[in-house]
């Protein structure tokens, strides 16, 4: 049976019962057949190893289609992946995403093995700030709560009151009931959320290297050249880009928007694989592609997922004392309503 392939309303389970070549149907609109022949041995082996090792693969929406549609058990945005990491009963979690996502999964599952296929899959936001930076910010702003984007290291989370993702930042900020917060490290996310909450933000000059590249002019050009286009943008984009967009939301919110409204022509102002993964399932929708690649996400491949499962590479390890402190703001975020 052909299962639901692409996530709607956060993560969804992929059914791997179909024979290997049947899986190609899931991606044939976006992956040429010649490439399928390069992928299928690794896919077969990954599916076998997952079963043998009681492992699950959590895949971010920016994974390439052969990972997203053919080997993952759950797909979603950062929030959905954290929730799935919290809920899983598997012995091994393979995080197909970037390091902070794997680290968050490990914080939530100290007893489990959490693997990331490439240890260098980082994030410009996570690299922009340290725990020491947060301590200095707190000292300069006594009593102001710290809201930290999940795109950070455990050392930064450990200094934090509550975490947020792009999917719940408004709810997290409003849950504090204060008129000022320190919101780190994404300056654009903080400014975009400030507009929606009327909460004053003390920001940090962190940027997503992928989303900061989009400009208002890019979106105006897209509108000029594509009649009836619907433009969706990620909240890591600059505020004037969001002003020009028709909708702003997390990667899963964008995906759900397209699946619900089925516009004829869409521009997703985000990482390139988002459009590919939705187009795989909706060949009837035209995608304008002014996308940018995330070099960190693109480090994850079928080859290194297979090696991860074969050789237990690379295991995420966090000092237990640090992990205990870093887990608290993640738990506090996850305790908010879904």
CA distance 71 to 181: 40
202 in helix, strand or coil? strand
Q: Which residue has the tokens 């950070």?
A: 152
Residue 158 or residue 169: which is nearer to ligand 13P going by CB? Answer: 169
Closest by CA position to 152, among listed 192, 201, 208, 111: 208
Partner that binds at residue 167, options ligand 13P, ligand SF4, none, CB closer than 5 to 8 Å by kind: ligand 13P
Q: Say whether residue 297 binds ligand SF4 (CB under 6 A).
A: yes
Report the residue number, 92 or 98, with the smaller CB distance to ligand SF4: 98
As a whole number of angstroms, the distance between CA 165 and CA 27 comes to: 28
C-alpha closest to that of 170 among 193, 201, 188, 149: 193
For ligand SF4 (CB under 6 A), the number of binding residues is: 13
How would you class 298 by CB atoms within 10 Å of its CB: exposed for 0-12, middle for 13-18, buried for 19 or more?
Answer: middle
Contact with ligand SF4 (CB under 6 A) among 70, 81, 123, 302: 123
Give the footprint of ligand 13P on this chain (CB under 6 A): 61, 77-78, 151, 165-167, 208, 234, 236, 250-251
User: Shortest Cβ distance from residue 35 to ligand 13P (Å)?
Assistant: 25
Using CB distances below 5 to 8 A depending on partner kind, what does residue 209 bind out of ligand SF4, ligand 13P, none?
A: ligand SF4
Query: Could you tell me the two tokens for 50?
Result: 């997952």
Show the CA angle centred on residue 113, arms to residues 107 and 119, nearest 5°.
Answer: 80
With CB under 6 A as the contact rule, which of the stretches 46-54, 119-127, 259-267, 325-333 interacts with ligand SF4? 119-127
| Residue 54: CB minimum distance to ligand 13P, A | 26
Interface characters, 190-229, with ligand SF4 (x: CB under 6 A): ------------------xxx-------------------
**Longest Cα separation, the chain:** 60
Site for ligand SF4 contains 86 (CB under 6 A): no
- Spatial CB neighbours of 38, under 8 Å, sequence gap ≥ 6: none
CB of 277 to ligand SF4, least distance (A): 14
């Amino acid at each position: 049976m052909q299962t639901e392939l692409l996530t709607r309303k956060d993560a969804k389970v992929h059914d791997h019962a179909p024979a290997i070549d049947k899986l190609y149907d899931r991606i044939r609109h976006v992956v040429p057949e010649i490439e399928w022949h390069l992928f299928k041995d690794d896919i077969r082996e990954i599916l076998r190893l997952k079963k043998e090792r009681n492992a699950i693969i959590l895949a971010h929406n920016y994974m390439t289609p052969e990972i997203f549609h053919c080997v993952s058990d759950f797909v979603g945005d950062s929030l959905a992946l954290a929730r799935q990491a919290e809920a899983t009963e598997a012995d091994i979690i393979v995080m197909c995403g970037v390091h902070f996502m794997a680290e968050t999964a490990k914080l939530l599952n100290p007893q489990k093995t959490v693997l990331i296929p490439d240890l260098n899959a980082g994030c410009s936001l996570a690299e922009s700030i340290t725990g020491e930076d947060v301590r200095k910010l707190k000292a300069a702003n006594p009593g102001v709560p710290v809201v930290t984007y999940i795109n950070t290291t455990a050392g930064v989370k450990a200094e934090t009151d509550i975490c947020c993702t792009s999917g719940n930042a408004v709810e997290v900020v409003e849950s504090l009931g204060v008129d000022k917060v320190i919101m780190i490290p994404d300056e654009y996310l903080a400014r975009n959320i400030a507009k929606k909450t009327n909460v004053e933000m003390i920001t940090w000059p962190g940027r997503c290297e992928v989303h900061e590249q989009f400009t208002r002019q890019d979106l105006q050009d897209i509108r000029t050249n594509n009649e009836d286009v619907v433009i969706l943008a990620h909240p890591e984009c600059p505020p004037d880009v969001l002003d020009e967009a028709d909708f702003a939301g997390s990667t899963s919110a964008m995906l759900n928007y397209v699946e619900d409204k089925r516009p004829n022509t869409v521009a997703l102002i985000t990482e390139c694989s988002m459009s590919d993964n939705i187009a795989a399932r909706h060949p009837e929708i035209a995608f304008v592609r002014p996308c940018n690649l995330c070099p960190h996400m693109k480090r994850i491949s079928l080859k290194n997922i297979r090696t991860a499962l074969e050789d237990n590479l690379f295991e995420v390890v966090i000092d237990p004392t640090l992990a205990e402190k870093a887990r608290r703001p993640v738990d506090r975020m996850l305790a908010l309503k879904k």
